[in-house]
Chain A
Amino acid sequence: MYVIQILLVIFFLFALSRVVLRYRVGDLRVGGLVFWCLFWVIAGIVVVIPNSSAYFAEIVGVGRGADLVVYVSLVVLFFMIFKLNVKIEKINKDITKIVREESLKEK
């Protein structure tokens, strides 16, 4: 095992522990817990057994395993940006509502 693999696995374990912690304190729902656990476990498998990505790449018709990892990462990243954007917009609207109600209370 290379040093980079060890470092990445340690980081993924740390990320997993954060996911569980966030779930325990109630910041994450069951769906989120399952998604992020799967995400970091799969990332760990791909790092420890690099050929595993090649196996899946062949199944879905992508040339190399590394390409599949990049494609999937990009899709996940864009989706996360979209979700974050929606969330931020909602928070912004909620802040405006609160600020408005607060100001309307002024006599």
Chain B
Amino acid sequence: MILVVVPAYNEEKRIGRVVRGLFEHDYKNVLVVDDCSRDNTVKMALKAGAKVLSHKINRGQGASLETGNEYARRNGYDTVVHFDGDDQMNPEDIKMAIDKIEKGGYDIVLGSRFLDDRSKIPFFKKFLILPVSRWINLVFTHVKLTDVHNGFRVLNKKSLDSIRITQDQMAHNTEIVKQIKKNKLKFTEIPVEIRYHEFGQGIRGGIKIIWDLIIKV
């Protein structure tokens, strides 16, 4: 049973499209974890047909994903998809990831923007921020990946049970990779498309992630 976990914060304009897109691709179990949005995210997600859990206090994307994971553990799901709520991801990419899990024997599949040319990554991000981030990730995790922090991943039951996200904010991406290594999970990357509406994590966001990784153990 597959659960798509969609963390969302102030995404009233996009969350409906994201949920409908997932339903159109036949993913029937869509869980939106609303991180105390100040707008109508909950209303729009419910209207689109998603199951919604709401954080009463804003706790960050990492905390929202762990809430989704915990929901999956308690309700007997054996596959969890992490899928952003800002309409940047393509639901078509989920199928290949699920196939890797079901037929390839992988425990966790991570999306990469660098394995094909569908993602139009902003120049500054592609040639400066992401290479530096990849190197920082390698230092912290000792796992070499082609991409960092795009948020698309699919976990099987083994990964779901062994990965616990304790980084409430954006450092959870690196934390998950660290736990993949620690728990000796079989992982692979697949090409995914990320459509840019906004720049995403800037330099300031990156510094915050490094700070969290060092301080919040």
> A-side interface residues toward B, CB under 8 Å?
85, 89, 92-93, 95-96, 99-100, 102-104, 106
Closest to B59 in A: A96
7 extra A-B contacts, CB within 8 A, seeds A103-B33, A106-B53: A85-B215, A96-B168, A100-B70, A103-B55, A104-B53, A104-B67, A106-B52
B66 within 8 A of partner (CB): yes
Q: What's the nearest-Cβ distance from chain A to residue B201, in Å? A: 21
Interface size on B, residues (CB 8 A): 18
Are B74 and A99 neighbours in the complex by a CB distance under 8 Å? no
Closest to B216 in A: A89
Are B70 and A99 neighbours in the complex by a CB distance under 8 Å? no
Q: State whether A104 and B74 are in contact (beta carbons under 8 Å apart), knowing that A85-B215, A96-B59, A99-B57 are contacts in the complex.
A: yes
Bound together, the chains give a CA A26 to CA B68 distance in angstroms of 38
Are B166 and A103 neighbours in the complex by a CB distance under 8 Å? no
B54 within 8 A of partner (CB): yes
Bound together, the chains give a CA A21 to CA B105 distance in angstroms of 62
> Top 6 nearest A-B pairs by Cβ distance?
A103-B53, A100-B67, A96-B63, A99-B55, A96-B59, A99-B57
B71 within 8 A of partner (CB): yes
The number of inter-chain residue pairs (CB within 8 angstroms) is 38
Q: What's the nearest-Cβ distance from chain B to residue A62, in Å? A: 31
B204 within 8 A of partner (CB): no
Q: What's the nearest-Cβ distance from chain A to residue B59, in Å? A: 5
Bound together, the chains give a CA A104 to CA B54 distance in angstroms of 8
Residues from chain B with a CB closer than 8 A to the CB of A95 are 57, 59
Are B168 and A103 neighbours in the complex by a CB distance under 8 Å? no
Bound together, the chains give a CA A99 to CA B215 distance in angstroms of 22
> B-side interface residues toward A, CB under 8 Å?
33, 52-57, 59, 63, 66-67, 70-71, 74, 166, 168, 215-216
Closest to A106 in B: B53
Are B63 and A100 neighbours in the complex by a CB distance under 8 Å? yes
Closest to B168 in A: A96
Bound together, the chains give a CA A71 to CA B168 distance in angstroms of 36
Residues from chain A with a CB closer than 8 A to the CB of B216 are 89
Are A99 and B56 neighbours in the complex by a CB distance under 8 Å? yes
* Cβ contact of A92, chosen from B53, B71, B168, cutoff 8 A: B168
Residues from chain A with a CB closer than 8 A to the CB of B74 are 104
Bound together, the chains give a CA A96 to CA B64 distance in angstroms of 9
Return 9 A-B CB contacts under 8 Å, by A number.
Answer: A93-B166, A95-B59, A96-B66, A99-B57, A103-B55, A103-B56, A103-B67, A106-B53, A106-B54
Bound together, the chains give a CA A106 to CA B51 distance in angstroms of 10
Bound together, the chains give a CA A95 to CA B71 distance in angstroms of 18
Q: What's the nearest-Cβ distance from chain A to residue B214, in Å? A: 12
Q: What's the nearest-Cβ distance from chain B to residue A28, in Å? A: 26
